[in-house]
A and B are shown apart, each in its own frame.
Chain A
Amino acid sequence: MKFLSHSILSTLGLLLVFFVIVPSLLTGFGAIGIYQTQQQELIRENLAETTKGIASEFDSYILVAERTLSSMTSAVDFTDLGKANYLLDTILDEYNIYEEIKIADANGIVQHRISRNYSYRPEEFGSVSGEEAFITARGGEVYYGGLHQTQYSNLPVVTIAVPLYGLQGAVIGTALADVSVNTLWQNFSVSRVGENKLAYVVDRAGKLIASQDTSTVLSRNDDMKNIEIVRSYLVDVPQDGTYIGLKDEEVLGAYSQVSKLNWGVVLEYPTRIAFEQINYTRYLVIGVAILSACVAIAAGLFFSFRSIVSPLQELERVSKEISDGNLSQRVSISTHNEIGRLAERFNEMTSRLQEGYLMLEQKVAERTKELNVRADQLERMNKLMVGRELKMIQLKKRIGEPQKDVESEKSGEDKESV
């Protein structure tokens, strides 16, 4: 605070900082905070809607995979190997979601087996009688299996099994297909997921099943439960706020359930992109506020300097001159404010002081002159008086000599008498 007492300009500067910039920033930040919260909420709602849409379409695709498998394989004539193989080949060719298809009879003996990556010979067809997929489909229900990898490629697939019905309506066999999750996922283009957003699927064990980014699926074998939103999905608690997402950056996220497979679709949106516009607005508002405040301070200080500090400095300078005796100095301030009027009074005061001084000097001169005349007179008087005095002294001296002689004689007589 000692600083405040040294200079009006610094006082004004600090006052402007504290009473212009700080309130401006506080107000700006407050307004932006409210705006950001609203925008976040809008983005989150949008993410949730998109995620629901993706999950719903994922369900539809699984349904299509199931229905296609069911309808196409029910048309297979098991007795004609060539036609059956051709039909299965056609399915693989036309529907790239299937990696492998097996047709098993009612006993689980595989009659046809066709794969995208390997050509099975009949002796390699094998049996599925002990497999849960076969048992479920044999019982007349559709089976949706968990995620696994194909034998001849490492790409992720899920097994779907459907019952095949004979003319009498009885289950005469089953069709089992490995459905490529990766291929399914390719159907979710950027336009559906959204630019710069990352969508991925996790199963109930928290394992990453599919993503737009295949390399992530291939390289992430770790437990996905370390990602906040996956934990939220597993306990079915909505995700609020931001978290570190699959790509190790801060994101906003939402999840939705793929009901047929009991998977969760997660959609993540990096905050650096989601908030880009908000941040831009924030930086713009803050920038403009601070720049305006700076300009205001600069202008305030400039005009304060011109209209207050500079005149006061002029007053200070002239006062010093005057105090040194230079009464001819005048303050040259042309403003019409209080300081201008103060300067006029100061100049008037100085003029009067100067006039008074001059008059005083004149009087002193007159008095001095009078004194000088008196002094001359006195001098003359003095000289006259001194001359008389000297004459008196001489007279006294003359008068005193005979007396001395008398006393001297008298003194000699006294000594003799001792």
Chain B
Amino acid sequence: MKIIIIGVIVVLTFGVGYYFLAGKNSPATHSTVKGEAVIGALYPFSGSSATAGDDAKSGIELALDIINSEYPDLDLPFADTEGLPNHGNVPVTVVMADHEGKPELGADQVETLVADGAVALMGAYNSAVTAAASEKAEQLQKPFLNPESTSPDLTRRGFKWFFRSTPDDDIFSKNFFTFLSEIEARGVSVPKDIGLLYENGLFGTGVARAEKKYAVLNGYSVVNDLPYNAADSTYQSVLQELANGQPSLLFQTSYERDAISLFEQYANYDIAPTAIIGMNAGFISSGFVTAVGEQAENVLSREVFSLDIGDKKPIVTKINDLYRERYGRDMNGNSARAFTGVFIMADALNRSDSFAAEDIHGALMDTALTANDIVMPWTGVSFNEENQNELGSGIIVQLQNGKYRTVWPFDLASQDVVWPMQGGE
């Protein structure tokens, strides 16, 4: 009988303890299940921006090789280990999908990549595709890192899962006018009439709006405001309007195919401004330089990367040597940003408790890469409340003798600016 009573007391005591403790909300435990670190990457591997997609692909592949193999000579994160050390050295895998520059296809590809096991996504170069694809990722609640689309509105949508590592076009546009003010201060004569020629999608529209704002603020007049459809075959109407306006400074925002086509036709329309200032994208793709390098000599472009910063940042030269050895060409802004994007994702995956979306999102939010961790000329990577990297900054490069050289900021410049672009001053 005593045993029964003692048993009852013990059961009651344990029951009370369980009830009492189970009643409290125990903190959610992180899943420690290890899975595959698969990243889905969306880029235009066909269509008008295919070369940019190829550059991004090459950058991604090189980054993966460094992360998943041992490169003890490189002073980069993951270079001296294989895979993600915090997850049992599991390798990072990137599955790539071609969106052909089509927003709807980009959104569909996100769905497919996630269904195929991608735990996070990156891409998609074209701002319009990035907008559609990231919207789908938002819907599916998957982290989406955008290394290269610069439309300011992309991070103003209030999306939780969308992150951008590159600075946006508002900053770059402001840089243009700071650059013009500074060369003017050095005695260069800078004309004040501007023509804006830009593709009429999200990318070009955002850039043009920022350029118009800073033009007025800096005392410039916009004589041509010419949006065009990048899918047009000839661009005759805008070329004619541009020829009529003959602006002294041409601010151009184009993807690769349209940039090439327009440059090939400038001579036919006697369009020869004092300077053409390109907004990255098509201007810095290897296809552009190859196709119209001679006609585009001395064209200026906003950039986020240039090989000559290797003089001040040796890792850039080392990485470019590996890149050239593998692909037979130099890295450019597209490949460097995609390369950096993979490292940002790998860093987040490595720090993440698991490969669950919420954990990766939390790790991305806590990103704190320094200038030494990346090949970009930024002070690091850290995302602000809009999930925009707040440590990024731009440079201005000029195509000199077939290669882009950093000409601004002057403390990073490897060459002097050639002004006007036809030479002379």
Contacting pair B205 A13 (CB below 8 A): no
Contacting pair B205 A118 (CB below 8 A): yes
CB-contacts of A121-172 with B (<8 A): 121, 152-155
User: Which of chain B's residues have a CB closer than 8 A to the CB of A218?
Assistant: 135, 138-139
**With A85-B212, A214-B158, A283-B20: A117-B205 Cβ-Cβ less than 8 Å:** yes
A337 within 8 Å of B by Cβ? no
Contacting pair B208 A219 (CB below 8 A): no
A37 within 8 Å of B by Cβ? no
Q: Which residue of B lies closest to A218 (CB)?
A: B139
B209 within 8 Å of A by Cβ? yes
Q: How far is the CB of B12 from chain A (nearest CB, A)?
A: 5
Interchain CB contact (< 8 A) of A82 among B138, B157, B202, B222: B222
Q: How far is the CB of B245 from chain A (nearest CB, A)?
A: 12
A326 within 8 Å of B by Cβ? no
CB-contacts of A168-222 with B (<8 A): 182-183, 185-186, 213-215, 218-219
A106 within 8 Å of B by Cβ? no
Contacting pair B1 A9 (CB below 8 A): yes
Contacting pair B139 A215 (CB below 8 A): yes
User: Which of chain A's residues have a CB closer than 8 A to the CB of B157?
Assistant: 155, 182-183, 214
Q: How far is the CB of B132 from chain A (nearest CB, A)?
A: 8
A387 within 8 Å of B by Cβ? no
B13 within 8 Å of A by Cβ? yes
CB-contacts of B359-399 with A (<8 A): none
User: Which of chain B's residues have a CB closer than 8 A to the CB of A386?
Assistant: none
Q: Which residue of B lies closest to A186 (CB)?
A: B158
A7 within 8 Å of B by Cβ? yes
User: Which of chain B's residues have a CB closer than 8 A to the CB of A186?
Assistant: 158
Q: What 0/1 readout, one digit per residue, does chain A (269-292) give for beta carbons within 8 Å of chain B?
A: 000100010011011101100110
A215 to B24 Cα, complex, angstroms? 30
Interface SS majority for chain B: helix
User: Which of chain B's residues have a CB closer than 8 A to the CB of A96?
Assistant: 156
Q: Which residue of A lies closest to B22 (CB)?
A: A283
Q: How far is the CB of A19 from chain B (nearest CB, A)?
A: 15
**With A119-B204, A154-B135, A218-B139: A294-B13 Cβ-Cβ less than 8 Å:** yes
Contacting pair A119 B159 (CB below 8 A): no
A301 within 8 Å of B by Cβ? yes
Contacting pair A286 B213 (CB below 8 A): no
Contacting pair B205 A121 (CB below 8 A): no
Q: What 0/1 readout, one digit per residue, does chain B (209-227) give for beta carbons within 8 Å of chain A?
A: 1101100100001100101
A89 within 8 Å of B by Cβ? yes
Q: How far is the CB of A275 from chain B (nearest CB, A)?
A: 10
Q: How far is the CB of B159 from chain A (nearest CB, A)?
A: 6
B62 within 8 Å of A by Cβ? no
Q: Which residue of B lies closest to A283 (CB)?
A: B23
Contacting pair A93 B213 (CB below 8 A): yes
CB-contacts of A7-60 with B (<8 A): 7, 9-10, 13, 17
Contacting pair A287 B16 (CB below 8 A): yes
A218 to B156 Cα, complex, angstroms? 16
Interchain CB contact (< 8 A) of B201 among A118, A290, A301: A118
Contacting pair B222 A9 (CB below 8 A): no
A92 to B156 Cα, complex, angstroms? 12
Contacting pair A280 B135 (CB below 8 A): no
A303 within 8 Å of B by Cβ? no
Q: Which of B2, B24, B158 has the most CB of A within 10 A?
A: B158
Interchain CB contact (< 8 A) of A283 among B4, B24, B156: B24
A100 to B371 Cα, complex, angstroms? 39
A363 within 8 Å of B by Cβ? no
Contacting pair B19 A298 (CB below 8 A): no
A382 within 8 Å of B by Cβ? no
A6 within 8 Å of B by Cβ? yes
A119 to B132 Cα, complex, angstroms? 18
Q: Which residue of A lies closest to B241 (CB)?
A: A121
Contacting pair B139 A119 (CB below 8 A): no
Q: What 0/1 readout, one digit per residue, does chain B (130-146) give for beta carbons within 8 Å of chain A?
A: 01100100111100000
Interchain CB contact (< 8 A) of B216 among A86, A119, A280, A287: A86
Contacting pair A153 B138 (CB below 8 A): no
Q: What 0/1 readout, one digit per residue, does chain A (239-269) give for beta carbons within 8 Å of chain B?
A: 0000000000000000000000000000000
Q: What is the interface residue range for chain B against chain A?
A: 35 or more
Contacting pair A89 B24 (CB below 8 A): no
**With A10-B4, A154-B135: A287-B20 Cβ-Cβ less than 8 Å:** yes
A116 within 8 Å of B by Cβ? yes
Q: How far is the CB of B8 from chain A (nearest CB, A)?
A: 7
**With A121-B227, A215-B161: A153-B131 Cβ-Cβ less than 8 Å:** yes
User: Which of chain B's residues have a CB closer than 8 A to the CB of A82?
Assistant: 221-222, 225
Q: What 0/1 readout, one digit per residue, does chain B (4-35) give for beta carbons within 8 Å of chain A?
A: 11001100110111011001110000000000
User: Which of chain A's residues have a CB closer than 8 A to the CB of B213?
Assistant: 89-90, 93
A155 to B136 Cα, complex, angstroms? 12
Q: How far is the CB of A81 from chain B (nearest CB, A)?
A: 8
CB-contacts of B182-236 with A (<8 A): 198, 200-202, 204-206, 208-210, 212-213, 216, 221-222, 225, 227
A116 to B152 Cα, complex, angstroms? 10
Contacting pair B5 A10 (CB below 8 A): yes
B82 within 8 Å of A by Cβ? no
User: Which of chain B's residues have a CB closer than 8 A to the CB of A301?
Assistant: 5, 9
Q: How far is the CB of A93 from chain B (nearest CB, A)?
A: 6
Q: Which of A121, A279, A280 has the most CB of B within 10 A?
A: A121
A5 to B350 Cα, complex, angstroms? 68
Contacting pair A183 B227 (CB below 8 A): no
A155 to B153 Cα, complex, angstroms? 12
Contacting pair A219 B13 (CB below 8 A): no
CB-contacts of A76-113 with B (<8 A): 82, 85-86, 89-90, 92-93, 96
B160 within 8 Å of A by Cβ? yes
Q: Which residue of A lies closest to B158 (CB)?
A: A186
Q: Which of A6, A82, A89, A286 has the most CB of B within 10 A?
A: A89
A117 to B135 Cα, complex, angstroms? 14
User: Which of chain B's residues have a CB closer than 8 A to the CB of A219?
Assistant: 139-140
**With A183-B158, A186-B158: A280-B209 Cβ-Cβ less than 8 Å:** no
Contacting pair B16 A290 (CB below 8 A): yes
Contacting pair B227 A119 (CB below 8 A): yes
Q: How far is the CB of A297 from chain B (nearest CB, A)?
A: 6
Contacting pair B202 A294 (CB below 8 A): no
A134 to B20 Cα, complex, angstroms? 64
**With A215-B160, A290-B12: A272-B25 Cβ-Cβ less than 8 Å:** yes
Contacting pair A283 B19 (CB below 8 A): yes
Contacting pair A214 B1 (CB below 8 A): no
A120 to B141 Cα, complex, angstroms? 33
**With A86-B216, A182-B158: A7-B23 Cβ-Cβ less than 8 Å:** no
A73 within 8 Å of B by Cβ? no
Contacting pair A115 B205 (CB below 8 A): yes
- Chosen A-B contacts, 22 in total, with CB atoms closer than 8 Å, are A9-B1, A9-B2, A82-B221, A85-B212, A85-B225, A86-B212, A89-B209, A115-B205, A116-B202, A117-B205, A121-B227, A152-B128, A152-B201, A152-B202, A153-B132, A182-B158, A214-B158, A214-B159, A283-B20, A287-B17, A290-B15, A290-B19
**A-B complex: 9 closest residue pairs judged by Cβ atoms:** A119-B227, A283-B23, A287-B20, A119-B200, A290-B16, A218-B139, A186-B158, A119-B205, A219-B139
Extra pairs beyond A89-B209, A116-B153 (12, CB < 8 Å): A85-B212, A90-B213, A115-B205, A117-B201, A120-B200, A121-B200, A152-B202, A153-B202, A218-B138, A219-B139, A286-B16, A294-B12
